[in-house]
Amino acid sequence: MSTETSTHELEFDVEGMTCANCARRVEKVLRKVQGVQTCEIDLVRERARISTGPGVSIAALEEAVAAAGYGLRPHERIGPREPRRASRPAAVRAAAALGLALAAMASSMVPGAPGRPWLEVVLAGLCVFGPGLGIVRKAAREVRARAAGMDTLVALGALSAMVSAVVQAAASDGRVGTGHEAFHGTAVDHTFAESGAMIVAFVLLGRALEERAKRAAGDAMRALESLVPETARVVRHGMEATIPTSELRAGDEVRVGAHGRVPADGTLLGEDVLIDMAWLTGESTPVLRRVGERVLAGALAAGAAMSMRVDAVGEGTELARVERLVAHAQASKAPIVRMADRVSAVFVPAMLGVAGLTAIVHGFWGAGLDAALQASITVLVVACPCALGLATPTAVTVAVGRAARRGILVRDAAALETLANVRIVALDKTGTLTEGHPTLLASLAVEGDPDHALARAAAVERESEHPIGEALVNAAVARGLPSLEARGVVARAGQGVRGEVDGVHVEVTSVDEAALVEVGPSLAAKVAGLRQAAASVVAVRLDGRIAAFFAVRDVVRPGAAEAVSRLRALGLGVRMWSGDHAVAARAVGSELGMTVDEVRAGLSPEGKADALAALSGVGPVAMVGDGVNDAPALALSAVGIAMGGGAASARQTAGITLVHPDPRLIAEAVALSRRTMRIVRQNLGWAFGYNLVMVPLAATGQLERFGGPMLASAAMAGSSITVVLNSLRLRRTRLEASRPMPER
């Protein structure tokens, strides 16, 4: 394919990757292609995500990867019932290799077997150059590219054994040993051939089991991809027909049957219905959607048929956005990976040197050519760094998928790692710990009719994302006030909103001491009383003069007090920061069981940033918020957590988004991140420890008494499988039982 691509985001399937060295090599060659801006390689899912400038051809990318010995093809979205690439060929190859290897071993152990030792050589050769041919070819490409990897080590070990076996068989001149000689593998009738075959067999068996385990790690993505139905019932020109979902377009009217899946994002028509949004919110309880409200692709019509107008299809849906976010997070690298990457970059060349040195030392000490070669082969096989390459990506893949199923969207692996280390969680009040939808509690007129001021305040607040502005707009609608048009509206985070309505300059701001002095002690006392009732009070100025005060009050979210308790149980410090006045903030804090010292009020966006800096000496701080005024603090914190129902700017700035506005998910996200990093450290410890123990044993010949290369290949495969299975424990871990962070 040579057509120029106009998109800046490309996704490819990568063929031939078997270890971290492979992934690094593919990333390196892709980054060298002119026009490639960024490249992320997902070893677990065998994917490449590439950002390019205009004019980069797919053919150029494919050719660069092919020259390095790998395959690259554009990733095609797989439908919910379309068969996926199966692991059966890998399992068949492993079974065939194991059968041939066992046959070769049996032929070397049966006294007087016809055709010895050539029968053993032929059977082993069929194994190495049959099922194992892919390993040999891959190693040859790695050698040509001067970039040794796992396959280089395996192929060198197997081919060294085969070459030695052919030499020994030729030297035997066709003689067949019997009795005691046969069982002890003399140079006359026994060779290293079965060792080469067993190396290949165990490696292929390990890869087949790895592939199966890695597919289990990607269950979350497959679950998301399967939510969109293959077909949809569309009404066009007064006629109803069933068409492929891919052919839907904006503006279509679609009918969804009872218990059917919604095929696209759209607007509900006809009548109110219950919708199951478990895929997005993690909550299995259906929610009521009213006519005119938004419904999302993948939702389930809970018990009643429904009609909707399509607004977005395919890649434009919220489901597709979540899929992209999950895929990006699974492919990203946590900072802890850098250490493993640096080690892997020099590991294979170093092990080649150790293997060569082992052969020289054994030969120098008079152990004989056979023993020197056997020890060298064992080092090559046991040193394969596959477990090291799988240690982090498998754990991150499982964790991000688990989080997505619970309605916790992780932007990248770095956010997951950072969250595990936070010491304090700072919580915004409005929209995070409270519902974020306050209602108008009281109106205090200063000059004229308060409804006159309310209508104009609603006009400038109509496009506002702030909950107080929304409350004023809703109150104006409820009172039947005229809908006025505002011009030149300017909203400043922490300072309010201003604009012009019917030639009058309108400002909606928080109440400060200057405003209270301006209206006198009587009205100031009433404002203080409203604040004592935990209400937030704003002043509406018309042409610079205060016309009215409006008090709105929010209610604490269900589960907010439990969320604070869970965070404390995890050993975290908890703070509540608010732009609201101190009385209202402290009233909410008291309801949540927080002390006066844990609550700060009247904070501007800059004030929250200063508060973050003040806590930096204690440790990393996670900031949780939902509004425009929280975006700077979310960006400056160690990791930002945005409530999904909040402002778009907050979601774009945060490293983690809670789709369902349930503050209890904050503790769940922290617990999951800690558990994930604990698994990553276990995996890395196992991978490093395995090589630290096994390589010296192999180099000194200690493994020869237990099978040498055969034991090495089995141990190497077992190490990789152990790492993947350990990561899969994250799918079933009980997050609420996670241990508190130990004190430093």
Taking only the tens place, the pLDDT of each residue in 529-581 is 888 777 788 899 999 899 999 998 878 888 899 999 999 999 999 999 887 77
DSSP string over 171-209: HHTT----HHHHHTT-TTT--SHHHHHHHHHHHHHHHHH
Write the CB contacts of 476 (distance below 8 Å, at least 6 apart in sequence). 454, 455, 457, 458, 483
Q: What is the mean pLDDT of residues 61-77?
A: 83
Residue that wins the pLDDT comparison between 291 and 643: 291
Query: 152-166, 185-199, 360-374: which range is least confident on average?
Result: 185-199
Please give the pLDDT value at position 79: 43
Angle at 321 between CA 319 and CA 326, to 5 degrees: 95
Q: Is pLDDT above 90 for 454?
A: yes
- Asked if 228 contacts 261 with a C-beta cutoff of 8 angstroms, the reply is yes
Kindly state the DSSP code that residue 4 receives in the 8-state scheme: B
Residue 83 corresponds to which amino acid? Answer: P
Higher pLDDT, 703 or 313: 313
Residues 439 and 552: beta-carbon distance below 8 Å: yes
Q: How far apart are CA 303 and CA 284, in angstroms?
A: 14
Q: Which domains does the chain have, with CATH numbers?
A: 9-74 (3.30.70.100), 88-219+328-389+691-711 (no CATH), 229-314 (2.70.150.10), 408-434+556-659 (3.40.50.1000), 439-553 (3.40.1110.10)
- What digits encode the pLDDT tens for the residues 669-719? 999 999 999 998 898 888 888 878 888 888 887 777 776 666 766 777 777
Look up the pTM and report it: 0.64
Strand partners, 288: 274
pLDDT reading at 732 higher than 80: no
| Positions marked active-site | 428
Extract the tokens encoding 246: 């891919």
- CA distances from residue 227 to 78, 181, 216 in whole angstroms, order as listed: 12, 65, 18
Looking at per-residue pLDDT, the higher value among 351 and 710 belongs to 351
Contacts with 188 (C-beta within 8 Å, 6 or more apart), sequence order? 117, 172, 175, 177, 181
Sheet with 47-52: strands ordered across: 36-42, 47-52, 9-15, 71-74
Reference 741, options 573, 572, 492; nearest CA is: 572
